[in-house]
């Protein structure tokens, strides 16, 4: 008779592999001295916000990097989306992928524009361009596509559809800072493209966002809209909001830009480490960033296939017990979040690939604060769990371990 020994995993009572949580989205922080020096300059000038010199410098640098005429910086990516949508005059219905971060849809719904959910292509995770035309109605005013994980959409086909059907075309490029498509930098496609500089992004400005566009009129409208619609000192020309980026955020953004190559290099090293340590692991497939185009590799995403002896959620619970706070981005799909779930209770039937992906993908920690040794440990956990899949499966089923995670706090718990 063989005696089953329990593998060394926290779900079986071992100490977690990491004493401190290993996060997805730990901020990339560049040269502290460079950040602090700029903050000193802000205080010396006593100019804190409202189109300040650092915001302008940051806008110029981002526009130059992307080879685009205008970069309009904003306080975050969500407001940047909202302003771009409004400045472009989108109304009625706008087609969006269901597999994205909720902000993509909220930016529409916030201004009472209906997001119409389109399924995604299982190979690219981006909007399925073959499914768009069937969703166009007389109320459709635009398409808001997402370059998910920083891999650009099929922009040529989207531009064709938008032109032929006379629709606005926006890209949510929150993941695609510094990316290119067939040698052309992001920012040059559609009517405009929206970046996020949130703390968790490859290039952060604490909070921040921007719209990139080559359309002069659109850029000047967005500049007015982000500043309450003021066209003169006492005169307002539009419904506006407060979407301004502060000087301190621009200081962080500029310092991050100076370290951007280092962040890219760290992500490349980490990605390669995942690729080699996960190679050959049954049912685990790494989302690839092939080709000569620029990619930040800021999202290390695995798909857990049907041939994996454990489900995505089982692996997720195993990782969380080890203090590896992997994320199920973007579970359960925006169409299953409120208010969309109530508005479109049958949407799930229309987006089967989104539903499938939302059950299969897991985002793993990377970024400048994650080292290859950490990655070796993460891969080792996955390998041990898969090798002992029967025991893991039984343990999770019998003991009912729940991944009870406070992602914004410091302690991850998988409690029995």
Which residues in this chain contact ligand T4K in the complex, by CB under 6 A? 23-27, 76-78, 100-101, 103-104, 146, 172, 174-175, 196, 198-200, 209, 325, 329, 407-408
Nearest approach in angstroms of CB 119 to ligand T4K is 17
- The candidate with the shortest Cα–Cα distance to 384, out of 4, 8, 3, is 8
Nearest approach in angstroms of CB 218 to ligand T4K is 19
Judge contact between 267 and 327, C-beta under 8 A: no
Q: Based on CB atoms, which residue is closest to ligand T4K, 227 or 363?
A: 363
Q: Based on CB atoms, which residue is closest to ligand T4K, 100 or 154?
A: 100
- The candidate with the shortest Cα–Cα distance to 17, out of 320, 299, 300, 416, is 320
Nearest approach in angstroms of CB 170 to ligand T4K is 11
Q: Based on CB atoms, which residue is closest to ligand T4K, 42 or 245?
A: 245
Nearest approach in angstroms of CB 146 to ligand T4K is 5
Q: Based on CB atoms, which residue is closest to ligand T4K, 146 or 284?
A: 146
Nearest approach in angstroms of CB 25 to ligand T4K is 3
Other CB atoms within a 10 A radius of the CB of residue 53 amount to 13
Q: Based on CB atoms, which residue is closest to ligand T4K, 100 or 259?
A: 100
* Tokens encoding 67: 């080879």
Q: Render 282-306 in DSSP notation, one character per residue.
A: TTEEEPP--SSS------EEEEE-T
Judge contact between 24 and 325, C-beta under 8 A: yes
Q: Which residue is nearest to ligand T4K (CB)?
A: 77
* Tokens encoding 153: 């959409």
Q: Based on CB atoms, which residue is closest to ligand T4K, 174 or 395?
A: 174
CA–CA separation, 381 vs 321, rounded Å?
10
Q: Render 148-204 in DSSP notation, one character per residue.
A: GGG----HHHHHHHHHHTT-EEEEE-TT-TT-EETTEETTSSSSEEEEE--TTSSS-
CA–CA separation, 245 vs 226, rounded Å?
9
Nearest approach in angstroms of CB 99 to ligand T4K is 10
Q: Based on CB atoms, which residue is closest to ligand T4K, 80 or 355?
A: 80
User: Max Cα separation, the chain?
Assistant: 87
Nearest approach in angstroms of CB 269 to ligand T4K is 20
The kind and range of the H/E element at 36 are helix 32-45
Judge contact between 127 and 103, C-beta under 8 A: no
For residue 327, report the phi and psi dihedrals to the nearest 5 degrees.
Answer: -120, 145
Nearest approach in angstroms of CB 306 to ligand T4K is 26
- The candidate with the shortest Cα–Cα distance to 190, out of 232, 146, 242, is 146
Does the N-terminal peptide bond of residue 332 adopt cis geometry, omega within 30 degrees of 0?
Answer: yes
Helix axes of 372-387 and 389-399: crossing angle, nearest 10 degrees: 80
Nearest approach in angstroms of CB 209 to ligand T4K is 5
Q: Based on CB atoms, which residue is closest to ligand T4K, 116 or 173?
A: 173
Nearest approach in angstroms of CB 185 to ligand T4K is 18
Q: Based on CB atoms, which residue is closest to ligand T4K, 116 or 174?
A: 174
Q: Based on CB atoms, which residue is closest to ligand T4K, 178 or 209?
A: 209
């Amino acid at each position: 008779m063989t005696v089953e020994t329990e593998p060394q995993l926290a779900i079986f009572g071992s100490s977690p592999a990491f004493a401190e949580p290993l996060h997805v989205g730990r901020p990339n922080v560049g040269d502290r001295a460079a950040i602090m020096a700029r903050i000193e300059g802000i205080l010396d000038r006593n100019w804190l916000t409202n189109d300040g010199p650092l915001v302008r410098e940051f806008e110029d640098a981002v526009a130059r990097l992307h080879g685009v005429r205008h970069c309009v910086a904003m306080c975050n990516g969500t407001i940047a989306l909202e302003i771009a949508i409004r400045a472009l005059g989108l109304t009625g219905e706008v087609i969006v992928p269901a597999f994205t971060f909720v902000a993509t849809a909220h930016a529409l719904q916030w201004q009472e524009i209906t997001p119409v959910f389109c399924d995604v292509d299982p190979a690219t995770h981006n909007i399925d361009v073959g499914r768009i035309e069937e969703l166009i109605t007389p109320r459709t005013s635009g398409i808001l596509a997402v370059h998910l994980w920083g891999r650009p959409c099929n922009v040529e086909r989207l531009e064709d559809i938008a032109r032929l059907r006379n629709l606005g075309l926006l890209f949510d490029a929150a993941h695609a800072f510094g990316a290119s498509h067939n040698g052309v930098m992001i920012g040059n496609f559609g009517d405009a493209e929206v970046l996020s500089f949130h703390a968790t992004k490859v290039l952060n400005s604490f909070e921040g966002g921007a719209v990139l566009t080559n359309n002069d009129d659109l850029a000047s409208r967005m500049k007015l809209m982000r500043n309450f619609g003021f066209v003169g000192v006492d005169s307002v020309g539009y419904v506006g909001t407060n979407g301004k980026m502060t000087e301190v955020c621009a200081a962080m953004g500029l310092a991050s830009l100076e370290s951007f190559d280092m962040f890219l290099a760290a992500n490349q090293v980490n990605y390669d480490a995942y690729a080699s340590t996960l190679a050959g692991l049954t049912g685990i497939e790494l989302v690839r960033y092939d080709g000569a185009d620029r990619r930040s590799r800021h999202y290390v995403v695995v798909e857990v296939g049907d041939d994996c002896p454990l489900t995505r959620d089982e692996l997720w619970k195993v990782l969380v017990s080890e203090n590896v706070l992997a994320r199920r981005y973007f579970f359960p799909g925006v169409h299953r979040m409120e208010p969309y779930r109530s508005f479109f209770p049958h949407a799930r039937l229309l987006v089967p690939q989104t539903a499938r992906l939302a059950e299969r993908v897991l985002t793993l920690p990377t970024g400048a604060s994650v080292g290859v040794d950490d990655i070796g440990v993460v891969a080792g956990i996955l390998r041990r769990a898969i090798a002992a899949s029967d025991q893991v499966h039984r343990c999770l089923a019998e003991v009912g371990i729940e991944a009870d995670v406070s992602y914004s706090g410091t302690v991850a718990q998988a409690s029995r």
